[in-house]
Structures are given as C-alpha cells and as structure tokens.
Structure 1
C-alpha cells in the first residue's frame, strides 16, 4: 500500500496540464465587460515590464515566448467565470504531441470515473500515466481570481517549455482545460533583468506548519510575498498553494473549504460558494520558492486558503479581518 501511494503521489501530483491536449474551443462565448483593473498607489510601486494575460471566455491570450528569470503576470479575467493559471514546466524533449498520445487517454478514463462517483477506480487509472509525467515541475502562477477582476503575480521561471492552464470545472464537471484554457509557452535563456518587488506583507506557506503571516493586515494596496517553506502532495495529490478570498455576508467557511478540493465531484466547480470573491494569490511552486502578488484590500473579512483537503485542520485556511482604520 505504501509503495502504491508513493507512485500515485509522484504521477498524480495535480490534475495539471494533461487535459490541455484536447484544447477544445468553448462553444458558448461569454459577454465581455469592463475588467476591474488594479490601480497601485505611490506607496506601492506599480510593476514594470508586465506580461499581459487575458481571458475573455475560455482561453489565454498572451505571448508565446517570454524571457526567463523574474516575470510579473497581469492576468485580466474578463470572463464570467472564476479562473486561475498554473505554469507547468515540462521535462526536456516532451511536447504537446507526447501528451496527446501518452496522457490524454489515461486522464480521460480517470476523470470520467471520478465524476461517476468512483474515486478509487479513477485514481487507479492514473497509474497508467507515463513515468515522465512525474518530472513535470509546477512553477507558480496566479491564485483563483473572480470574474471581472485582475490578478498580478510575480514568479521566477527557468528556461524551458511550459503549459499555462486552468482546471477549474464547468458545471458539468469538465475541466476548463478541455474548453481551451491551456497554452504552450516557451521560456527562453534570455533573462528578463527584472527584480522581485519589495513586499509589504510576508507570508510563509508550509504543509507542516500551515500559513503564517503578521497581523493585523492593513487596508489599501499591498504586495504579499509567499515563501514556500516545504512542499508535498496532499490526499488529492495537489501541492499546497495560496489563494486570497474576500468573505461577504452569507459566506460559509465550511462550503469554501469543501469547494477547494477538486477530488470531490462538487469541488472546484462553477459556481463558487456564495459570498466568496477570489482575489488572486500564488499557485503551486517547489519548496524554497518565493512568489509575490498584488491586491487592494478594502475593510472586511478575508481568508487565505490552499487547494487541499482539510485545509483548516492543517493550518492552510486562515481567516483575518481588515479594519477601516
């Protein structure tokens, strides 16, 4: 049993970039309305040399080639759905062709079984994935971001071939990757020359110790740094990340915690829990990594949460209040 679980942990760390293989076009286009764009005050310098990423419906519109080193992504979610993007670094020599022939059929089988309420059979099917799948490196990206909002996230990227993806689910349980939300990106050897921003709040993210940060957190424009102290796959084979969510009246912490677990057929599926507005964050990164994200905090109730089961019990769900003073 131990050996079997170890193998699963290696090959099914997350749903990641397999389902992009189908790269289907979304048949129903959502209307585009004006996006809420982050405006940065003088006390928090506006990021320079940003890489613009736009989603209007179920796609990523951005450059095909970007430099290595520190890069700041400005992700404008102009759609009517909550999204994120995760950057998956593929092992050398592996491309979309390998994924189509070696991975797509396996994931199709496994996900169908999970959606049918047969998680054990579904995870067993993932055992058919090729060994190289375990060499994919999840290299950061934005946290979940609500419709008509903008996420700004800074991460450091090594040269290589990446897949940018979103695997939030449609109401029918199909992943957004199946609807076209996956894009190949080449990160070149040329360094961007950028430096990381100066944070206003420092967060430590740990699977063993949870999420820790200084309190109180003040209202206004903030730059959060996120240091990944350690990393591991959790029960749903996902690494811990960090997402910021505003909790309005009627929001249920229990519903939010349950929704963040993709392995539940009702998890990570549209719509998000009532009263929850996602404001970005930093996606999965290896241990020792550091990422940054920008946010404008209004007075109110908030939470940091990771995309893992039992997040509150693990200290990976932390509520806090921003006061109007």
Structure 2
C-alpha cells in the first residue's frame, strides 16, 4: 500500500463509519426478473442444509453447508444451529463488478468479499466502538475507498432468520442466478461480527431453473414500511408462513425490514427485545447466550428490484404467546413488532 493512497483512505475513515451507522448511505437495489412459468411448477425441493457451529477453543463461528451450488428458483434452507448463540443467514447477491474485480485480484468471490467487505467493515467498526482497537490486518488496499464502490449494488434475497442456540428453522426463498454470500452479522461479547470470526460462506445459483414448487401459504403476513399486517390470534399447528415484502426502505444502519418469530415466554421483556434488534448499537444485537428472547427463525431482508416478493417460514406453532419482529432500530415505533397468540379457540384462522 503506497503512502498517499493510505493517507487518503484514512481521512475518510471516520466519515465513512458515521455515514454507515447514521444511515446516510442509500443502498441501491437491483435484481434480475425471471419470466414467471405458466402454472405452478411441480417437483422436488431445491434444498441447502446449513449447520451453525462454534469452535470454543479458537473462538471461531462458522457455517457448514451441505452443498454450494443449486438451481435457480424456489430454494429451501434447513438451518441447524448447534451453538449456544443466536444466528441468522442472510443472502446478498454479488454484483458483476465484484465478480470481475475478484477475478482480476486472483481471488474466488467469497475470499474477495471477506477481503473487501467483511474485514474492512470490522476495521471500521473497531475504530468507533469504545474499548475496541482496530486490527491493521483487517484493512485492505484493493480500492481507494475504505469499502468497495459496488457495496451499494448488493441485492438481498432473504435467507434464514434469527434462530436461537440449539434450535432449527426452515426458510424458502426465490433465488435468481448468481453468486450469493451466506453470512451471519450478529456480534459476540467483544463486538466482533460473527462473519469476521468465520461465519460466512458462498452459494452459487445456476441459470438452470429448478422444478421446485412455490410453497402453499397457510398463514399470510404482509410486511411493508407501514408495518406488519398479521393475525392477532391463530390456532396451533404446522404453518407455511408466507411473508410478502410489499416494499422496502433503509432504516438507518444499512438494513431494510425483515421478519423474525419470537416466543414470549415468562419473563420476556418486549421493550428489551425492541432495543436488542439494533445492530448499530454496540450494546445490542450481541449473541452470547443471554439474548432477551427465544428466536424461532424467520425471513431475512428481501430487497430486489421486483418487489413485492414472498419468502416462507415453515414452523410449528404450539399454544402460547409470540411476536413477529423486524431487525431494525426500535421496531415497535415503526409498527414492526406485532404480538400474537396461539390458542385452541374456534373461529381462529389457521389449521
């Protein structure tokens, strides 16, 4: 790294962090649109198994995928969390420039993403969080800018939502062809993002279209900038929850709305949950086994050019009290935290 270039990047570092956390960066979303097939496709599911693991000795979080290439179309992610921590697996699709630049640098797409996004972002975060010391090894000299110029061209396609330790969840989303990152950005006790500790992988989606069918929704939820529209009461049973993303917007720190299911057990403080959902607060979104509630999965951000799009959460709802919540700052004030009950009463929607 030459001197002038390094100095240039340092002068913008603090401004970049403030912009990211303060919400000034507007992320442009685009995405390919496939022509819909006539009628409903029939056939086997297009599945990817993801196991979340934690190496306590090395303090490494990681994903183990049972396959890294799938056909395009409806894809079901079976998420098995074998750790004590809460994780998610969201799916940004890399833009063509990222793929071209990775090839020029002699890196595969995953290695290039870690080099130009994951590690520099941790470096920026460590520069601003009290008590953190940035590691110069996390910096990069691939671009003149601190973060890559194509960052705003990432397109988000959903993925498994927050799932508590030793739990599992199942999510189905519609994937266009391309190269996808599979990433968890929850934080540990030291404010390191799980992705920077190894919880990041890649899935290639081919142009060959899968014959996997779209799930039949048995519980419909609408998610928009107006909030969550969902039944206040349902009956117990197994549900294929269709989550329609009607529109999107950026809620300050780089995130659009998504949807996660939580169980309101005895002692759950909904206000504490509301605060925990803000990753840009160093004291929040920390996954250390002391999370304020039990997370049962969901559908991560969907933000493509062809909204509305629907993602599906497959879940068994037992009697009790629950809530849907988005991972945005102060979701309750935005209508993005909605409590509901599961009871065996006649006349309720559901199975």
What TM-score do you get using the length of structure 1 for normalisation? 0.80
* Poorly superposed stretches of 4+, deviation over 4 Å: 4-7, 272-275
User: Is 1:111 matched up with 2:118?
Assistant: no
In 1, Cα distance between equivalents of 2:201 and 2:94: 13
Once the two structures are superposed, residues 90-131 of structure 1 have per-residue CA deviations (whole angstroms, 9 ceiling, x without a partner) of: 01142345435543564133211342289xxxxxxxx73222
User: Is 1:293 matched up with 2:293?
Assistant: no
The counterpart of 2:198, out of the listed 172, 180, 185, is 180
* Deviating more after overlay: 70-79 vs 56-65: 56-65
**Contact 1:56 1:77 (C-alpha < 8 Å) held by counterparts:** yes
The counterpart of 1:166, out of the listed 173, 181, 184, is 184
User: Is 1:141 matched up with 2:169?
Assistant: no
- Change over 3 Å in CA distance of 1:142–1:103 after alignment to 2: closer
- Change over 3 Å in CA distance of 1:76–1:215 after alignment to 2: same
Pairwise CA RMSD of aligned residues? Answer: 2.4
- Corresponding position of 1:99: 113
**Contact 1:303 1:319 (C-alpha < 8 Å) held by counterparts:** yes
- Corresponding position of 2:329: 309
- Corresponding position of 2:72: 68
SS across alignment from 1:156: strand
* Residue 212 (structure 1) shift: 0.3
SS across alignment from 2:71: strand
- Corresponding position of 1:26: none
User: Is 1:191 matched up with 2:243?
Assistant: no
Q: Which runs of 5+ in 2 are unaligned?
A: 1-18, 30-43, 55-60, 99-108, 133-144, 346-351
**Contact 1:71 1:156 (C-alpha < 8 Å) held by counterparts:** yes
Once the two structures are superposed, residues 155-175 of structure 1 have per-residue CA deviations (whole angstroms, 9 ceiling, x without a partner) of: 000111111000111111111
Once the two structures are superposed, residues 199-223 of structure 1 have per-residue CA deviations (whole angstroms, 9 ceiling, x without a partner) of: 111000012x100013421112111
- Corresponding position of 2:220: 202
The counterpart of 2:242, out of the listed 225, 243, 254, is 225
SS across alignment from 1:73: strand
Once the two structures are superposed, residues 130-165 of structure 1 have per-residue CA deviations (whole angstroms, 9 ceiling, x without a partner) of: 221111111110110111211110000011111100
In 2, Cα distance between equivalents of 1:131 and 1:234: 21
Aligned residues: 280
- Corresponding position of 2:11: none
In 2, Cα distance between equivalents of 1:256 and 1:185: 31
**Contact 2:24 2:252 (C-alpha < 8 Å) held by counterparts:** no
In 1, Cα distance between equivalents of 2:181 and 2:329: 25
* Residue 300 (structure 1) shift: 1.1
- Corresponding position of 2:286: 269
The counterpart of 1:260, out of the listed 277, 286, 305, is 277
- Corresponding position of 2:102: none
- Change over 3 Å in CA distance of 1:189–1:214 after alignment to 2: same
User: Is 1:239 matched up with 2:236?
Assistant: no
**Contact 1:249 1:275 (C-alpha < 8 Å) held by counterparts:** no
**Contact 2:217 2:240 (C-alpha < 8 Å) held by counterparts:** yes
SS across alignment from 2:331: coil
